[in-house]
Amino acid sequence: MSRLRELGDRIAKRDAHVGVIGLGYVGLPLAIEFARRGFRVTGFDVNRAKIDDLRKGQSYIEDVPDAEVAGAISQRGFAATTDFAELSRCDVINVCVPTPLTRSKDPDVSHMATAMEEIRKRLRSGQLVVLGSTTYPGTTHELFVPLLESTGLRVGQDFSIAFAPERIDPGNRSFQVREVPKVVGGETPVCRDLARLLFEAIFDRVVPVSSTQSAEMVKLLENTFRAINIGLANEIAMMCDRLGLDVWEVIEAAATKPYGYMKFLPGPGLGGHCIPVDPTYLAWKMKSLNFPARFIELATEINGQMPDHVAGRVGDFLNEDRIAVNGSRVLILGVAYKANVSDVRESPALDVMKLLRAKGAEIAYHDPHVAELELDGSMLKSQDLSDELIARQDMVVIVTDHAAVDTARVVARAQRIFDTRNATRGVANGQEKIRRL
């Protein structure tokens, strides 16, 4: 216990050495924030190219400018490495690695397990381990506490472990890392208090909960809430299509109610690492307890239908002018899963492209944030958004509404536009050649 008290004193003095495993869109901003607040920080990643970029003061994350990386290295003692032997020098270790789904839609905690095994090999008395990767309730307690205790060290006595879910929203300029409250749950009260002390050093508000399981559940609730409500918005969009109504008008009017309503918007489907994945983690866990997660399953089904709905609507629009999808030229505008980011993980744009290509369309895309991507084994490159490119397309499909795209110019040059994001709502002219979700 004395070593853990000593760690608490070192955290309070910002003399603790902080490690961050996984330097992606979650881990890198966290590492930089710790460095900014005066901690000595070592970042770990298996990707050598990332480490090389960071050592040059270059960032590959759009939300982290090069200047912040360079400043953290030169002034604040930030270092990046692929050498996990350095974990033994860290007093605190944050785990921020991907937790995707397998092909069979089961949770894949293999990256987390690999990171925890690296920690286990070097675990010493007085360390604090904090998991931030999204996972199902019970992961920390059932899998990783026994793994670390296999060293002979005891949690809450020799070392501490906590779960503090990430709440990073890539591309969101409204909230800095420190401004989003940090939820923390510990395996024991000592674990919780140490983790709370750690995060109070860099976050404006820390929210302690009673256990690691509760903290794991918090993250799943947040994104399941979003997935279900987006599913409702998507179903309303399909209803409005059948009724001949403008779903965007309906939603905006409903949003004027000052209580009892929260605005969610429809779209071409769900993308990114969190919203399409997190509800499935929760449903998988509950299935093991013979509890059907019916809301989650229904929302997943509806959201999964949206790329087909978009492809069908595109075909209908072309058919109005007696143009077959087969042989038509279609430009996909935006392939990232959300506006103003470069992440294409689970992006609905990829499904829309595959569906239209399967129908015989000639597909091209433009995305200012995604230079190239792989689609069904072939590499595609982002096309220059010239007037000529726009004009020769039979259809422009706006899938991601990046701010860098001049939507008014696209409307002026395009023959037809299908808008899945209501990005064209403010364009004065050319509305007759636009169809919306």
What pLDDT does 1 receive? 55
Could you give the residue numbers annotated as active site?
274
User: Which residue range(s) make up the domain with 19?
Assistant: 2-210
Which residues, at least 6 apart from 256, have a Cβ–Cβ distance to it below 8 Å? none
pTM: predicted TM-score of the whole model, two decimal places:
0.92
Distance in angstroms (rounded) separating the CA atoms of residues 221 and 107: 16
Last residue of a domain, one of 179, 210, 241: 210
Asked whether residue 219 is domain-assigned, the answer is no
3-state DSSP of 157-213: CCEEEEECCCCCCCCCCCCCHHHCCEEEEECCHHHHHHHHHHHHCCCCCEEEECCHH
Distance in angstroms (rounded) separating the CA atoms of residues 422 and 413: 18
- The DSSP 8-state label assigned to residue 378 in this structure reads E
CB burial string 340-358: b at 16+ within 10 A, e below: bbbbbebbbbbbbbebbbe
- The DSSP 8-state label assigned to residue 259 in this structure reads S
By three-state DSSP, how is residue 302 classified? helix
Which residues, at least 6 apart from 211, have a Cβ–Cβ distance to it below 8 Å? 141, 185, 186, 187
pLDDT tens for the 437 residues of the chain, in order: 578 889 999 999 999 999 999 999 999 999 999 999 999 999 999 999 999 999 999 999 988 999 999 999 987 689 999 999 999 999 999 999 999 988 888 899 999 999 999 999 999 999 999 999 999 999 999 999 999 999 999 999 999 999 999 998 888 888 888 999 999 999 999 999 999 999 999 999 999 999 999 999 999 999 999 999 999 999 999 999 999 999 999 999 999 999 999 999 999 999 988 888 999 999 999 999 999 999 999 999 999 999 999 999 999 999 999 999 999 999 999 999 999 999 999 999 999 999 999 999 999 999 999 999 999 889 999 999 999 999 999 999 999 999 999 999 999 999 999 999 999 998 999 999 999 99
Distance of CA 324 to the CA centre of its chain: 36
State whether 186 and 309 are in the same domain.
Answer: no
State whether 100 and 230 are in the same domain.
Answer: no
What pLDDT does 177 receive? 87
State whether 368 and 289 are in the same domain.
Answer: yes
How many domains does the chain fold into?
2
What pLDDT does 314 receive? 98
CATH assignment of the domain containing 349: 3.40.50.720
Asked whether residue 95 is domain-assigned, the answer is yes
Last residue of a domain, one of 210, 238, 255: 210
What pLDDT does 105 receive? 85
State whether 264 and 380 are in the same domain.
Answer: yes
Phi, psi of 108 (to 5 degrees): -115, 100
